[in-house]
Amino acid sequence: MELEPLRDGHGRLIGDLRVSVTDRCNFRCQYCMPAEGLPWLERSGILSFEEIARIVSLLSAMGVHNVRLTGGEPLVRRNFPELARMLAGIDDVHDLSVTTNGFLLERDAEALVAAGVNRFNVSVDSLQRDRFFELTRRDALPQVLRGLEALAAFPEAHPIKINAVSIRDFTEEEVLPFAQFARRTPYQVRFIEFMPLDADHAWTPEQVLSGEEIRAAINLTYPLEPEPREASATAQVYRFADGKGRIGFINPVSEPFCGDCNRIRLTADGRLRTCLFSLRETDLRGPIRDGADDRELEQIVRDAVWQKELKHHVGEPGFVQPARSMSAIGG
C-alpha cells in the first residue's frame, strides 16, 4: 500500500517517527524525572503491539520510512524484541532503531539484532561510576558498559551511538574522557544539549552547556574536522583530524535545526505529537479503539501533521514547557 506522502503546512515531507513504547524507566535521571519517579500510565492505556504496528504501517505507507523506538526505557516493555520483529517486517519501514539506557542490553542485544533493529543509540552521561550514579541515581555503569560490549559483538548493529546530555557544571569533566572513548572504541559519542523537558520544570538557560563550547574544548586537544550535515539530521558530526573516530553535537537550544525537521512522535498512550515541545497532541488511540478504519485514521494524521510547528521557541520570551517530561513524551 502506497499513499500520498505526508507533508506539513510548511511544505516539509515527514519521514521520521519516534515511537514511545512505554513511559516506565528503570533510571531516574535528574534531567528527566524526580528521584521518586512519576505516576505510570495504566497498562490498559498503553498502545498494544498490534495498535503500534497498525499506526506504523499506515505512516510508513505515507513515506515515514524511519522508525525509532524509545521510552521511558523501551527494553522494560515485556516482549519488546517481538514488537521490533513485527515492525521490521513492515515493507515500508526501511530503518528501525532503538534508543535505550543500555541497562538491559546485555540481556536483549542478540534478540533485538535478530529481530531486525539496525541502529542503536545508548544513553551514557558519564564514564565515571560515581558521577554516573549522581546523574542517573542508579549504580549501573558497569552493567551498561557490558551491554554495549554485547551489542558491539554484532557487526550489523554498527555504528553504535552514545548519547550524553551536556549540563553545565557537570559535563565539563566528561568532555575529554568521552573524546578519548570515541577515539579508542567503535562508538560515536554525541553530546546533546540539556533541554527543558525535566519533570521538575527546573530547567534554566544557564544550565545549558552548548555544543560549541564542548567542540572547542575537544578541538584544543584533538583537532576536529566537520562533516557535511545530512538533510533533516539532528547532529552535526565531526571527524578527528587524524582519522581516529567521530563525535557529534546535537544543539537544539543554541543552534535549532527546526527548518528541515521531518519528525513526528507517538506517545506510549497513543498521542501524536508534531514537535518535541508541542503543547497540543492528537489522540490516535481513541479512534482506533472506537473502530476507525484506515482512511479515517489517515485523515486524522494528515490534519494533525498539517499543523506541525515551524519551530520550537526554547529561549524565546513566552516559551511554555510541555506538561509532559521527556520520559512521557519519548526520547
- Say what the pLDDT of residue 317 is: 78
- Say what the pLDDT of residue 195 is: 84
> By C-alpha distance, which of 260, 301, 225, 271 is closest to 20?
271
Phi, psi of 18 (to 5 degrees): -105, 120
DSSP string, 242-278: TSS-EEEEE-TTTS--GGG--EEEE-TTSEEESSTT-
- Say what the pLDDT of residue 201 is: 77
Is residue 11 within 8 Å of residue 262, measured between CB atoms? no
- Say what the pLDDT of residue 34 is: 80
Q: What is the H or E stretch that residue 50 is in?
A: helix 49-61
Is residue 60 within 8 Å of residue 226, measured between CB atoms? no
- Say what the pLDDT of residue 115 is: 98
Cβ within 8 Å of residue 316, ≥6 positions away: none
Is residue 255 within 8 Å of residue 214, measured between CB atoms? no
> By C-alpha distance, which of 275, 225, 274 is closest to 252?
275
C-alpha cell at 135: 546523574
Neighbour count for residue 212 (Cβ, 10 Å): 14
Instruction: Kindly report the pTM of this predicted structure.
Output: 0.94
> By C-alpha distance, which of 183, 27, 207 is closest to 175?
183
- Say what the pLDDT of residue 2 is: 84
DSSP string, 285-311: HHHHHTT--HHHHHHHHHHHHHT--S-
pLDDT tens track of the chain, all 331 residues? Answer: 789 999 999 999 999 999 999 999 999 988 888 888 888 999 999 999 999 999 999 999 999 999 999 999 999 999 999 999 999 999 999 999 999 999 999 999 999 999 999 999 999 999 999 999 999 999 999 999 999 999 999 999 999 999 999 999 999 999 999 999 999 999 999 999 998 877 777 788 899 999 999 999 999 999 999 999 888 788 899 999 999 999 999 998 888 888 889 999 999 999 999 998 888 999 999 999 999 999 999 999 999 999 999 888 777 777 788 888 777 888 7
- Say what the pLDDT of residue 257 is: 80
- Say what the pLDDT of residue 38 is: 84
Cβ within 8 Å of residue 277, ≥6 positions away: 196, 197, 309, 312, 313, 314, 321, 322
- Say what the pLDDT of residue 232 is: 77
Phi, psi of 229 (to 5 degrees): -80, 130
Cα gap 175→239, rounded to integer Å: 15
Cβ within 8 Å of residue 223, ≥6 positions away: 240, 241, 242
C-alpha cell at 260: 528541515
Domain spanning 16-329: which superfamily? Aldolase class I (3.20.20.70)
C-alpha cell at 17: 517517527
